[in-house]
Amino acid sequence: MGDFGNTQYIKVETEPMTGVQMVLSTVYEALREKGYNPVNQIVGYIMSGDPTFITSHNSARSLIMKVERDELVEELLSSYIANKKWD
C-alpha cells in the first residue's frame, strides 16, 4: 500500500511546439516586424502557393516552404478548434 500521509501532486507539462507551430510562429513574427498583416499574407501563401506572399526577413520564406501547405492548414484548424473547445 502507498503512503496516505502525504499529498501527491502531478505537474502537467505543456506540450512542446511542433515543427509546424515553430514555422508559423517565426513567419508570423517576421511578417509583423516588416509591417505586413500576417494573417492576410499567410492566407495568400496557403491559397496560392506563391512564396512571395512571405517576407524573406529572418529566412521566413525559406522556412515556410519546408512545410507542406496542407500541414499549415491542419495546424491552424486544429489550433482554432482547440481554442474554441469544440472537441
Q: How confident is the model over 14-30, as pLDDT tens digits? A: 556 679 999 999 999 99
Work out the mean pLDDT of the chain and round it to a whole number.
89
pLDDT of residue 18: 75
> Helices marked H in the chain — which ranges?
19-33, 38-48, 60-64, 69-84
pLDDT of residue 6: 78
Q: How many CA atoms lie within 13 A of 21 on its CB side?
A: 7
pLDDT at residue 13 is higher than 90: no
Instruction: Tell me which of 85 and 87 has the higher pLDDT.
Output: 85
Total-model pTM: 0.77
